[in-house]
Every structure is written in structure tokens, then in C-alpha cells.
């Protein structure tokens, strides 16, 4: 995710392509960072929803594999679903090792971005921070997958 002047992009791309699968220009300097924060916000939001849904599924006696199979064929399908829930179903929960501390950090960065942009708070952010903080206090700070 690159932010740079249009005429500089090919030079930047020649370097970044060595460590990134996709090199995309998002606009002027700073736009790449903003795009990254937006991407992380969507990813963390999806992770939060999945953690809550699968925790509730457990309590309700819903078969995780059946739920996953249905989600993977419908509009709930996402990279986050496949990366977090898929491995957990195969006994590899935590293989991603994305910590709640990192999730909270990403959400905090996005919060600051929104505040700098226009000062308009995003109500969902407060809920995210409350959710992640609560789970961290429950001793789950090391692994997002253990939320379920």
C-alpha cells in the first residue's frame, strides 16, 4: 500500500515488489498509510464479529464446521474467516498468532486517524476497544483465535 506522487510510483514499486505480493498506489504521500489503517479496521471488525459469533455458536450448541461451511459459501466469506476459523477447525487455533494487543493497537491507530481527519467519532471503535480490552483482561491477550 503506497502513497506517493504518481511520477515516483514506478521507482517505489521496483523496491516494494521485493517484499510485497501486490504493490498498489493509493494516492499522494500518506494515502498508503491511510489505506492500511482502513484495511486493518475492516479486518479487525471482521475478526471481532467472528469471535463473537463462534463464541455464541459454542454456547448454543451450533456445530462450528457446519457454520463455517455455510459461511464460506455465502456473503460472510472473507479472508479473515478463512485465516482464523479454518485453521481452528483443523486443530491449529493460534497458528496465526495475531494477538489482541496488536488488534487493539490497530484500532487505536484508526481512532487517531478518524480524529485527525474530521473529529467525527466512529461509535463502533469504542465498542471494539471495549471488546478487545475485556478479552485481554480475561487472559486472552496472546491469541485472537482463543476468543472462540
pLDDT in tens, 58-76: 999 999 999 999 999 999 9
State the pLDDT confidence band at 17, using cuts at 50, 70 and 90. Answer: very high
User: What is the rounded CA–CA span in Å between residue 32 and residue 38?
Assistant: 10
Mean pLDDT of the chain: 84
Please list, in sequence order, all residues whose beta carbon lies within 8 angstroms of the beta carbon of residue 122, skipping any fewer than 6 positions away.
Answer: 110, 111, 114
Opening angle at CA 16, ends 107 and 23, nearest 5: 70
Q: How confident is the model at residue 107 (pLDDT cuts 50, 70, 90)?
A: confident
All three cell numbers of 112:
487517531
At residue 147 the predicted structure's pLDDT band, cuts being 50, 70 and 90, is: very low
d(CA 5, CA 25) in angstroms, rounded, equals 9
CATH topology of domain 30-147: 1.10.1040
- Does the global pTM surpass 0.85? no
Q: Grid coordinates representing 33?
A: 498509510
16/23 Cα distance (integer angstroms): 7
Question: 127 vs 112, which has greater pLDDT?
Answer: 112
Amino acid at each position: 500500500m503506497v502513497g506517493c506522487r504518481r511520477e515516483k510510483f514506478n521507482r517505489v514499486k521496483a523496491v516494494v515488489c521485493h517484499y510485497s505480493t501486490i504493490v498498489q498506489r493509493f494516492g499522494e504521500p500518506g494515502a498508503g498509510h491511510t489505506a492500511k489503517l482502513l484495511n486493518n479496521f475492516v479486518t479487525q471488525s471482521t475478526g471481532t464479529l467472528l469471535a463473537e459469533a463462534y463464541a455464541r455458536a459454542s454456547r448454543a450448541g451450533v456445530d462450528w464446521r457446519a457454520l463455517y461451511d455455510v459461511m464460506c459459501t455465502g456473503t460472510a466469506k472473507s479472508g479473515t474467516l478463512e485465516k482464523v476459523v479454518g485453521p481452528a477447525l483443523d486443530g491449529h487455533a493460534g497458528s496465526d498468532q495475531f494477538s489482541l494487543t496488536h488488534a487493539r493497537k490497530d484500532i487505536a491507530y484508526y481512532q487517531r486517524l478518524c480524529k485527525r481527519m474530521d473529529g467525527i467519532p466512529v461509535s463502533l471503535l469504542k465498542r471494539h476497544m471495549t471488546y478487545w480490552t475485556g478479552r485481554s483482561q480475561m487472559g486472552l491477550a496472546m491469541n485472537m483465535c482463543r476468543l472462540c
